[in-house]
Structure 1
Amino acid sequence: MTPNADLPDPKGQVSDAYTGNWVDHRAPAWSRPYLRLSRADRPIGTWLLLIPCWWGLLLAAAHDGTFGIYDFWIALGCAIGSFLMRGAGCTWNDITDRHFDAQVERTKSRPIPSGQVSVRQAVFWMGLQALISFGILLTFNNATILLGIAALLPVAVYPFAKRFTWWPQVFLGVAFNWGALVGWTAHTGRLELPAVLLYGAGIAWTLFYDTIYAYQDTEDDALIGVKSTARLFADNSARWLMWFLIATVTLLGAAVIAALAPTQNPLSMVLALGGVWALGWHLAWQLRQLDTSDAQNCLMLFRSNRNTGLILVPFLAIAAWL
């Protein structure tokens, strides 16, 4: 009997993929291992990479009061680039972590440790994604192109961070929020203080959500010697996460004020700060719901950060329009 192409491939599914995801159900069978390698079956990472790009772009547009046709391309180009570079970064991560992943219950089903993809095939796939993404980057201004190239350094270093520091989430934040700098610079042609403050807010936000994510693996990480903020904080997570929440909201607010104070448009600033306030409340909700001993609870809250970041987007968009 020929298998139904609409049914997931039980041998290839990754343990923490979304139920009913399009990769396992609808993608051609030959492409599934590569799409799983890019985490296309777990799109939350693409959102978390993309959202700071949109923050930077919209805040820059609100800063100078213009949002043109080219800005729509910046928004779309960032979306496509986030999907591709997140895929390339995850592929690199899985290449470097293949021996660790084979020893962790949640990750041993990933394509390389499970034997779906060889290391050589993974390297080729990583290069292809990065090359297409570079082609998109070339459509932006020169300052943005240089920033995009510079982003490769933190992406390359991040997978090794958990081997030598208890704070690998900082390295992830540095890599994942680079888009705040890119989005602002793609619109303005220069890097300025509001973008830097926005970048700092994103790093603090990453420390918040990725610490929650890391609590899923604390037992396995302890056995194999992998470090994380979740292991470092242990039962003191609530206090640390509250500080990350405060830092996120404070730096976001400072970025909005630095960007919009020169415009002398109080309505625009109040609206944007309202978005920061709403985002802060969503982080506070996560903190109230958190149970670090429940892996499913941690995964659910981690995934909810797509909504956290998107809360701010319409506020900034309207502020740019006013």
Structure 2
Amino acid sequence: MNYKKVIYKGKQFGELVMFSHTLFSLPFAVISMVWAAGGWPSWWVMIWGLIALIAARNGANAFNRLADRKYDEQNPRTASRHLPQRLLQTREVTLFVIINYFIFIVAASMLNPLCMILSPVAILLITVYSYTKRFTWLSHLYLGFVIASAPIGAWFAVTGQFAITPFVLGTVVMLWIAGFDVIYGTQDIEFDRTHGLWSIPSFFGLKSALWMAKGMHAIMVLLLFSLYFFRDLSWMYLIGLGVAAILLMVEHGIIQPNKPTLMKVASYHLNQVISMVIVACTLLDFFLVS
């Protein structure tokens, strides 16, 4: 076996699905698991829950690259991605999607009957996202909706039951993701309009889109604040929320669509910090303060 080739392919697939962006959904899934279990859940639930989350995300992101490959080839901003550059072949990525979706179904089946029953529905929902930009500017919210399945699914993995808390967390994730996806989408306003793709920035214009993103993030913060009362949390949680709110304001303050590096900071890097701050302070609140 050519180990160098295996490592190279693994690196390519990791970049294809932007594996580091798991930090967007994973922290909220951890919070949901801990709250659902009243502490750390069993190793069985944690391991299979983590496998399910990663496999679903990898499969969905890879499928999105397949669905968008023709647009990625034409967009100067995305022309350097793996499929346009032939760094990975279509058949390889297709097989990668199938394997990850299969792993997701197996992992969900290892958790409880509710997760097993809902796993095909989850695959359908996350796969449909790749086509939403063809017909609706609500694609950003739909993306947030499918990523919101992480904290909701994590709660189901632990309890096998419905509850209010995971859906509040899910709504937080949906608005957060949709908000910074709108920010990221401001870079492609003209391309989207030219190629008949729908987005909030291309449909409403730059200024209106940025105000809508601010509104989504403001509601997100308010929902997180409501959990302070609903979950009877402490000052440590509020510190995390305060830091996250400040970082969101910084994010909105540095937006410049004509500067790709700065947009990556606003859309991705700052939000990775935000999620880690929230999960750290929430876990400290739960295990050390409350």
- TM-score, with structure 2 as normaliser: 0.87
2:198 maps to a residue whose letter is: K
Match 2:153 to one of 172, 182, 205 = 182
Match 1:99 to one of 66, 70, 75 = 70
2:275 aligned with 1:279, yes or no? no
Match 2:178 to one of 207, 225, 229 = 207
Give the whole-Å Cα distance in 1 for the aligned partners of 2:31 and 2:168. Answer: 12
Instruction: Flag the structure with higher helix content.
Output: 2
Task: Give the corresponding residue for 1:50.
Answer: 26
2:25 partner SS: helix
2:286 aligned with 1:314, yes or no? no
Give the whole-Å Cα distance in 2 for the aligned partners of 1:163 and 1:228. Answer: 9
Give the whole-Å Cα distance in 1 for the aligned partners of 2:197 and 2:178. Answer: 17
Answer with 40-49 or 101-110: which moved more.
Answer: 40-49
Give the whole-Å Cα distance in 2 for the aligned partners of 1:236 and 1:212. Answer: 11
Give the whole-Å Cα distance in 1 for the aligned partners of 2:247 and 2:124. Answer: 32
Give the whole-Å Cα distance in 1 for the aligned partners of 2:146 and 2:69. Answer: 21
Match 1:134 to one of 100, 105, 116 = 105
Question: Once the two structures are superposed, what CA deviation does each residue of 1:185-225 show, in whole Å capped at 9, x if it has no partner?
Answer: 22233121111111111111012111122123233223222
Question: Once the two structures are superposed, what CA deviation does each residue of 1:261-299 show, in whole Å capped at 9, x if it has no partner?
Answer: 4xxxxxx34433433232222211211222233222111
Give the whole-Å Cα distance in 2 for the aligned partners of 1:274 and 1:89. Answer: 34
| Contact residue 63 and residue 97 of structure 2 kept, 8 A | yes
Relative distance call for 1:126 and 1:35 in structure 2 (3 A) is farther
2:240 maps to a residue whose letter is: G
Give the whole-Å Cα distance in 1 for the aligned partners of 2:41 and 2:31. Answer: 17
| Contact residue 271 and residue 315 of structure 1 kept, 8 A | yes
Gaps of 5+ in 1: 1-26, 262-267
Task: Give the corresponding residue for 1:22.
Answer: none
Give the whole-Å Cα distance in 1 for the aligned partners of 2:213 and 2:41. Answer: 39
Give the whole-Å Cα distance in 1 for the aligned partners of 2:28 and 2:210. Answer: 25
Percent identity, please.
Answer: 19
Match 1:305 to one of 271, 274, 284 = 271
Give the whole-Å Cα distance in 2 for the aligned partners of 1:145 and 1:233. Answer: 42
Task: Give the corresponding residue for 1:113.
Answer: 84
Give matches, 1:214-225, under 5 Å: 214-225=185-196
Give matches, 1:233-248, under 5 Å: 233-248=205-220
Relative distance call for 1:59 and 1:283 in structure 2 (3 A) is farther
Give the whole-Å Cα distance in 1 for the aligned partners of 2:152 and 2:17. Answer: 27
Task: Give the corresponding residue for 1:12.
Answer: none
| Contact residue 216 and residue 299 of structure 1 kept, 8 A | no
| Contact residue 245 and residue 284 of structure 1 kept, 8 A | no
Relative distance call for 1:270 and 1:60 in structure 2 (3 A) is farther
Task: Give the corresponding residue for 1:193.
Answer: 164
| Contact residue 37 and residue 87 of structure 1 kept, 8 A | no
Match 1:81 to one of 36, 52, 58 = 52
Give the whole-Å Cα distance in 2 for the aligned partners of 1:37 and 1:215. Answer: 27
Structure number with greater CO (CA < 8 Å, separation at least 6) is 1
Gaps of 5+ in 2: none
Deviation of 1:41 after TM superposition, in Å, equals 7.4
2:43 aligned with 1:67, yes or no? no
Give the whole-Å Cα distance in 2 for the aligned partners of 1:109 and 1:146. Answer: 39
2:259 aligned with 1:294, yes or no? yes
| Contact residue 215 and residue 295 of structure 1 kept, 8 A | no
Relative distance call for 1:57 and 1:128 in structure 2 (3 A) is same
Task: Give the corresponding residue for 1:257.
Answer: 229
Deviation of 1:245 after TM superposition, in Å, equals 1.5
Relative distance call for 1:190 and 1:171 in structure 2 (3 A) is same
Relative distance call for 1:148 and 1:250 in structure 2 (3 A) is farther
1:271 maps to a residue whose letter is: M
Question: Once the two structures are superposed, what CA deviation does each residue of 1:96-138 show, in whole Å capped at 9, x if it has no partner?
Answer: 1121111111222323333333333322121112222333223
2:23 maps to a residue whose letter is: W
